[in-house]
Amino acid sequence: MTAFFLSRMRRPVSYWGLFPLCSVHSGIIFIQRSISFTEAMACLPEGFKQMVPAILILIFAWSLKEMTDSLGAAAYVSAVVAKSTGAMLVLLPAFVFLIAVGLSFATGTSWGTFGILIPIVVGIFFQKTDYTMMILAMSACMSGAVCGDHCSPISDTTIMSSAGAQCLHLNHVTTQLPYAMLVASVSVLCYVLAGILKSPWVPLTGGAILLFVLLMEIKRRQAERAGKNRKEQKSLAR
């Protein structure tokens, strides 16, 4: 219960955007005279009914985030990252990327992951005056946090995307996971190479080429599968 009452539902920011939006939208409708005032007012309850599932998912997601924060997830991750320095410093950008993906996926927030990991990364590399590795690790943190937030089923952006597309929430999450995981896998390899070379240009070029080759291979396999399906349909039609 405490996690629910501490969640972002208490913040009135959404109301400051809701009422001007409804006012402007109603004004445009009345000016264009597309529907009457009675019909417009009758649409409001129907719109609220369609948003109830998304609102409930958001409430539970924010409550879960507050629970993970109260359990000390941020402090635990900070300690794990701080202990990983030393001989494995070259691989730290890749580790930071994976940790950021997992943390943002579990909490449903990318900005919260920024606030946890970026100060740790800056503290590790600033003391060693290795600014190139610091920039690489910060970029790994940001990209990993955005990736995890994009895939997270409790992220507010994911929930609102599925609600706007009017599809089942889990279907929206599962259909985007293969594409996101493919790019994330290539990104891990690129960050490993970037940590070894201490330069972003070669891994960036290699990652773009690798993604292009993988996408062409996926397209080729889909074309072969579609051709087999067409042949089977023609054989059944005969």
Return the exposure string of 80-103: e unless at least 16 CB atoms fall within 10 Å of the residue's CB, then b. ebeebbeeebeebbbbbbbbbbeb
Q: What is the pLDDT of residue 97?
A: 93
SS3 at position 218: helix
> Whole-prediction pTM value?
0.66
Q: What is the pLDDT of residue 3?
A: 44
- Do 76 and 16 contact (CB within 8 A), yes or no? no
Per-residue pLDDT of the chain (238 residues; tens, 9 = 90+): 444 444 444 444 455 666 777 778 777 777 877 777 777 777 777 777 767 766 776 676 667 667 766 776 656 655 665 565 555 677 888 888 998 998 888 877 787 788 778 877 777 766 666 778 888 888 999 999 999 988 888 787 787 788 777 788 788 888 888 888 999 999 999 999 988 888 888 888 999 999 999 989 988 888 888 888 887 777 776 6
- Report how far residue 153's alpha carbon sits from residue 142's, in angstroms, rounded to the nearest whole number: 19
- Which are the contacts of 124, defined by CB distance < 8 A and separation ≥ 6? 81, 82, 85, 92, 134, 137
Q: What is the pLDDT of residue 78?
A: 59
